[in-house]
Amino acid sequence: MKTKTYSRVINIPELKEFAVTYPQFAGIAKVDGKFLFDIVMKPETFIQAMVLTEYGMPAVTSVAELCFNEAKKRRGFKFTGRVKQYIGAMIASLMIANGYNKTGRKKSIIHRAYTRGEFYVKR
């Protein structure tokens, strides 16, 4: 059996770029929520989000559990609606940087802290 190797370029937005695109989350991204930025903005996250998207699920499902659990470990950090919006904005930034567009449609997420998330399509 022959083994083939495949590679793919994955674009990861930097914090400065994210802050310009989503200024409403710049403060949280640079201070209290920086740990979430570091969790979300990884090639592995995009690959998971891409696969989930292809199966008709919201991309944020890829990090919902991990972000929720890591946030619970942080003393004094509250997993609020605004934090969930911030995570959604990071996923949007990651998906858009890699050739996906928002559809404006929200789909259900099977997670105790979330109800719905954005659905993306490949450009």
Q: Say yes or no to pLDDT of 1 above 90.
A: no
Q: Say yes or no to pLDDT of 112 above 90.
A: no
Predicted confidence band of residue 115 (pLDDT cuts 50, 70, 90): confident
Residue 2 backbone zone (phi > 0: left; psi -120 to 50: alpha; other: beta): beta
Per-residue pLDDT, averaged over 6-13, amounts to: 95
Question: What are 122's strand-pairing partners?
Answer: 100
pLDDT tens across 44-94, in order?
A: 999 999 999 999 999 999 999 999 999 999 999 999 999 999 999 999 999
What are phi and psi for residue 12, nearest 5 degrees?
Answer: -115, 110
**pLDDT given for residue 110 in this prediction:** 82
Report in angstroms the alpha-carbon separations of 4 from 1, 7, 8, 108: 10, 10, 14, 37
